[in-house]
Amino acid sequence: MIKSISLLTRKDNITHEQFVKHWLEVHGPLAHSVPGMRRYVQSHILAERRRPDIPTLQVPVDGIAESWYDDLEAMKAAAASPEAKILYDDGATFIGQIKSFTIDEKVIIPG
Kindly list the distances between the CA atom of residue 51 and the CA atoms of 46, 47, 59, in Å, as whole numbers in the listed order: 17, 13, 15
Question: For 56, which DSSP code?
Answer: P
pLDDT given at position 60? 87
User: Please, what is the average pLDDT of the chain?
Assistant: 95
Q: Is the pLDDT of residue 57 over 90?
A: no
**Residue 111 resides in a domain:** no
pLDDT band of residue 56 (cuts 50, 70, 90) is confident
Residue ranges making up the domain that contains 23: 2-46+61-103
Count of structural domains within the chain: 1
The answer to whether position 53 is within a domain reads no
Do the domain assignments include residue 77?
yes
Report the C-alpha gap between 23 and 107 in whole angstroms: 27
Per DSSP, the three-state class of 89 is helix
CA gap 109, 104 in Å, rounded = 15
Average the pLDDT over 33-58 and give the result.
Answer: 93
Please give the pLDDT value at position 63.
97
Predicted model pTM: 0.90
Give the angle 108-39-77 at the CA atoms, nearest 5°.
110
Mean pLDDT confidence for 24-42: 97
* Residue range 86-101: mean pLDDT, rounded: 97
Query: Does residue 52 lie in a domain region?
Result: no
29 found inside a domain: yes
Q: Are 35 and 77 in contact (CB under 8 A)?
A: yes
Residue 38 lies in a domain: yes
- Specify the pLDDT at position 47: 87
pLDDT confidence of residue 105 = 84
